[in-house]
Structure 1
Amino acid sequence: MTAPGGTEKVAAPRVTAVVGLLVVFELVSGLLQGSGPALVPAVQDWQSISASQAQWYMAVQFLAAAVGVPVFGRLGDLYGHRRLVRIALVCIAAGTVLVALAPNLTVLLVGRALMGPLAALLPLEIGLVRDRLDLEGARRAVALLVGALTFGSVLGHGLAGPLLELTGGVQATLCVLAAIACACVALSYCAIPESRTRAPGRMDWAGALLLGLALLLFLGTMARGQAWGWTSPRTLGGLVLSLSLLAWWVRLERDRPHALVDVRAVAHPRSATYYVSGFLFGAVMLGGQAVGISYLAASTADEGYGFGLTSWEISAWGAVPHVLAFAGASLVARVAARTGYRRVLLLAFTLMAAGNVGLITGHATLPLFALASAVSGFGMGLALGGLPTLIAERSTPDRTASATAVYNNLKTLGGSLAGAGSAVVLGSLVVRDTDVPALSAYLTIWALNALLCVGALALQVLTNRETDAPGAAKNRRSDTRPHSDAGTSAGA
Structure 2
Amino acid sequence: MSGPAAAAPATSNVRAVVGLLVAFELVSGFLQGSAVPLIPEIQDRFGVGTGQAQWFTTVQYLAAAIGVPAFGRLGDLYGHRRMLRVALGCVALGTVLVACAPDLAVLLLGRALMGPLAALLPLEIGLVRDRLTVAEGRRAVGLLVGSLVLGTVLGTGLIGPLLPLLGGLGGTLTALAVLATGCVVVSYTAIPESRTRAGGRMDWRGAILLALTLVLLLGTLSKGAHWGWLSPATLGGLALSAALLYGWVRLQLAAPHALVDVRAMARRQNAPAYASGFVLGAVMMAGQSVVVSYLAASPADEGYGFALATWQISVWGVVPHLMAFIASTLCATLAARTGYHRLLLLAFALLTAGYLGLIAGHDGLAPFVTANALVGLGCGLALGGLPTVIVENSTGDRTASATAVYNNLKTLGGSVGGAVFSVVLGALGTGTSGTPTLRAYVTIWSIGALAGALAVGAQLLGRRRTPSPRPAVSARV
Same fold, judged at TM 0.5 (above): yes
1:307 shift after superposition: 1.3
Q: 2:468 aligns with which of 460, 465, 473?
A: 473
- What pairs up with 1:196-215 in 2 under 5 angstroms? 196-215=195-214
Distance 2:49 2:451 in 1: 35
1:477 shift after superposition: 11
Distance 1:463 1:204 in 2: 29
Q: Counterpart in 2 of 1:261? A: 260
Distance 1:184 1:376 in 2: 32
Pairwise CA RMSD: 1.7
Q: Counterpart in 2 of 1:343? A: 342
1:53 shift after superposition: 0.5
Q: Does 1:99 align with 2:94?
A: no
Q: Counterpart in 1 of 2:271? A: 272
1:101 shift after superposition: 1.3
Distance 1:71 1:253 in 2: 14
Structure-2 change in CA distance of 1:428 and 1:475 (3 Å): same
- What pairs up with 1:368-447 in 2 under 5 angstroms? 368-447=367-446
Distance 1:170 1:301 in 2: 36
1:165 shift after superposition: 2.4
Distance 2:143 2:158 in 1: 22
Determine if contact 2:78/2:197 at 8 Å carries over to the other structure.
yes
Q: Counterpart in 1 of 2:299? A: 300
1:462 shift after superposition: 2.3
Q: Counterpart in 2 of 1:459? A: 458
SS at match of 2:54: helix
1:382 shift after superposition: 0.3
Deviations 1:332-356 (A, max 9, x none): 0000000000100000001000111
SS at match of 2:281: helix
Determine if contact 1:214/1:245 at 8 Å carries over to the other structure.
yes
- What pairs up with 1:13-412 in 2 under 5 angstroms? 13-412=12-411
Distance 1:396 1:5 in 2: 23
Distance 1:64 1:477 in 2: 37
Moved segments of 4+, more than 4 Å: 4-10, 475-478
Determine if contact 1:341/1:386 at 8 Å carries over to the other structure.
yes
Deviations 1:185-237 (A, max 9, x none): 10101100000000000101111000000101000111111111111111111
Distance 1:132 1:387 in 2: 20
1:364 shift after superposition: 1.6
Structure-2 change in CA distance of 1:109 and 1:260 (3 Å): same
Determine if contact 2:128/2:137 at 8 Å carries over to the other structure.
yes
Q: Counterpart in 2 of 1:490? A: none
Q: Counterpart in 2 of 1:487? A: none
Determine if contact 2:143/2:328 at 8 Å carries over to the other structure.
yes
Distance 1:15 1:455 in 2: 38
Deviation larger for 300-309 or 192-201 = 300-309
1:11 shift after superposition: 2.7
Q: Which amino acid aligns with 1:121?
A: L
Determine if contact 1:229/1:235 at 8 Å carries over to the other structure.
yes
Structure-2 change in CA distance of 1:311 and 1:168 (3 Å): farther
Distance 2:77 2:325 in 1: 32
Determine if contact 2:210/2:248 at 8 Å carries over to the other structure.
yes
1:100 shift after superposition: 1.3
Q: Which amino acid aligns with 2:334?
A: V
With the length of structure 2 as denominator, give the TM-score of the two structures: 0.96
Deviations 1:79-134 (A, max 9, x none): 00000110000000111111111111101111110010000000000001000011
Q: Counterpart in 2 of 1:488? A: none
Determine if contact 2:11/2:131 at 8 Å carries over to the other structure.
no
Deviation larger for 272-281 or 328-337 = 272-281
Deviation larger for 432-441 or 98-107 = 432-441
1:475 shift after superposition: 4.9
> Any stretches of 5+ residues in structure 1 without a counterpart?
479-492
With the length of structure 1 as denominator, give the TM-score of the two structures: 0.93
1:395 shift after superposition: 0.5
Determine if contact 2:75/2:82 at 8 Å carries over to the other structure.
yes
1:476 shift after superposition: 9.8
Q: Which amino acid aligns with 1:467?
A: R
Determine if contact 1:6/1:196 at 8 Å carries over to the other structure.
no
Q: Which amino acid aligns with 2:325?
A: F
1:17 shift after superposition: 1.0
Determine if contact 2:271/2:462 at 8 Å carries over to the other structure.
no
SS at match of 1:380: helix
Determine if contact 1:297/1:310 at 8 Å carries over to the other structure.
yes
Determine if contact 2:133/2:470 at 8 Å carries over to the other structure.
no
Q: Which amino acid aligns with 1:172?
A: G
Q: Which amino acid aligns with 2:398?
A: R
Distance 2:200 2:97 in 1: 35
1:6 shift after superposition: 10
1:239 shift after superposition: 0.8
Distance 1:195 1:399 in 2: 12
Distance 2:45 2:185 in 1: 30
Determine if contact 1:393/1:477 at 8 Å carries over to the other structure.
no
Distance 1:194 1:251 in 2: 34
Distance 2:86 2:133 in 1: 26
1:12 shift after superposition: 3.3
